[in-house]
Amino acid sequence: MHANHKAITEARHKLGITLNWLLEPVCFLCEENGEWRHGLCKHCWQHLPHNLLCCRICALPLASKGLCGACQATAMTYDRIIAPTVYRHPIDQMLCSLKYAGRLQWARTAAGLVVDCVLQQDLELPHLLLPVPMTRKAIRQRGFNQSAYIARLVGRQLKIKVGFDVVHKTRETHRQSTLSRSQRQQNIVGAFALTRPVAGTRIAIVDDVVTSCSTVAELAGVLKAAQASEVNVWACARTPA
Ligand SMILES: [Zn+2]
Ligand SMILES: [Zn+2]
């Protein structure tokens, strides 16, 4: 009887280990270690290209803390960009896989990175999150707007309202990455329209990656022209110069 009981206990224990192994969430990146933070294991998390030294205003990665040349020379339409990582391996693959392969799990990691970074800054939180909009046609083609996914998760964690329909993208623009700096600005001017008043509202624009800043600068300009009291940009990554 006693031996029997022991055998059952041992079997239960073994089964428990197997079940834990089956049920424990595994790191999205290495698919080996258990999840530690926002879908990643501790090792993969620590080895992300964290954007620690960057421009105080536009989050451009720099060699030391301070302001980049562009921000020293010109006033920006937005108040500040927050971007916890540099758009390098594996963040680039992660965000491409989200956008082009529909791997929505990466929206959770991206949102987690943004939330952690925002909480570390000890900021006054915005009233409203605005995902960078896509045209209806582009959403039909891709099936979803990745910025809206990230914004929804950030909003849920920080208890901030997300304005999915506050701003529309009224026309298709060329892919910003294929254009020169002045072409990018021309390309995006007049591409956004507000559907409701935002006067006195503190806003954070949410995007997956900020590359040239012309898109978020144009959108921030539209919001500031409509008297938004503060416009920051929260993105998962920032492209280096
Ligand atoms: Zn891992
Ligand atoms: Zn800057």
Distances (CA, A) of 24 to 108, 113, 165: 17, 21, 37
Looking at residue 180, the DSSP 8-state letter turns out to be -
How close is the Cα of 131 to the center of ligand 2, in Å?
Answer: 21
**CATH fold of 48-238:** Rossmann fold (3.40.50)
Encode pLDDT of 90-109 as tens digits: 999 999 999 999 999 999 99
Q: What confidence score (pLDDT) does residue 185 get?
A: 67
Distances (CA, A) of 235 to 59, 76, 83: 10, 17, 5
How close is the Cα of 200 to the center of ligand 1, in Å?
Answer: 43
Q: What confidence score (pLDDT) does residue 186 get?
A: 72
- The ligand that comes nearest to the alpha carbon of residue 210 is 2
Query: In a 3-state reduction of DSSP, which class is residue 198?
Result: coil
Q: What confidence score (pLDDT) does residue 189 get?
A: 81
How close is the Cα of 25 to the center of ligand 1, in Å?
Answer: 11
Q: Which residues surround ligand 2, an ion (CB under 5 A)?
A: 55, 57-58, 60, 68, 71
Q: What confidence score (pLDDT) does residue 21 get?
A: 59
| Contact (Cβ atoms closer than 8 angstroms) between residue 221 and residue 193 | no
How close is the Cα of 98 to the center of ligand 2, in Å?
Answer: 27
Kind plus residue range of the DSSP H or E element containing 107? helix 105-121
How close is the Cα of 3 to the center of ligand 1, in Å?
Answer: 41
**Angle ∠(128,132,136) on CA atoms, nearest 5:** 120
Extents of the domains making up the chain: 1-47, 48-238
Q: Which residues of the chain have pLDDT under 50?
A: 1
Measured distance CA(209)–CA(80) in Å, rounded: 14
How close is the Cα of 48 to the center of ligand 1, in Å?
Answer: 10
How close is the Cα of 93 to the center of ligand 1, in Å?
Answer: 15
How close is the Cα of 177 to the center of ligand 2, in Å?
Answer: 19
- pTM for this model (two decimals): 0.87
